Homo-oligomer: A and B are copies of this chain.
């Protein structure tokens, strides 16, 4: 299988870390996720993360130059998980639009299990300013890869890529409205299904319903 064509997600120009450094990084990310899962964005306090990870505050800041960087990296980490999980059990729908909607709903259910963690990650993602662009972009590319996987589009047209971008927009924004209690789970579902109709609209050839 060509299962690793788009699978290289790590930032490219990172000098290799020693084993202990890799371990520190992991402890930090785990501590971050754990604190986030408990109390959301506000509960991820840099001093607490440092202490929980057994690392000095200055070190934490050397690894992640801001709280936002840390949480975006945490999201990267979680997305990685999700992506491999999804690859193991691909969506079953007959039509691309269905498969994408199913995939996103599966991801959504995963987030519902840890709503506080979702809160921390999504808020960080949308609050990120230019200094975090590369990292946010990595998250975005991961999300795109997941959606394209679900579509089964090897060679997406520019039109399809636009549709995917719009789907991502909707996905993020719908999550936010859900997290802030302004939309129900049912409404998020409807929004996702609605936007996925765009995929039919942009299929390379005629939609050819079956």
Contacts and interface: CB of A to CB of B under 8 A. Distances in A.
B166 A195 contact: yes
Nearest to A124: B127
A181 B134 CA distance: 10
Contacts of A169: 169-170, 172-174, 177, 191, 195
Given A173-B172, A174-B169, A181 B127 contact: no
Interface size class of A (residues with CB under 8 A): 35 or more
A11 interface: no
A180 B210 contact: no
Q: How many copies does the complex hold?
A: 2
Contacts of A170: 166, 169-170, 173, 195
Contacts of A114: none
A194 B127 contact: no
Instruction: Name the residue in A174, A191, A194, A201 with the highest tally of chain B Cβ atoms < 10 Å from its Cβ.
Output: A194
Nearest to A201: B197
B166 A191 contact: yes
Interface in A137-178: 137, 140, 159, 162-163, 165-166, 168-170, 172-174, 176-177
A156 to B, nearest CB: 13
Top 9 closest pairs, chain A to chain B, by CB: A169-B173, A169-B170, A126-B126, A162-B194, A173-B173, A166-B195, A127-B127, A130-B181, A172-B173
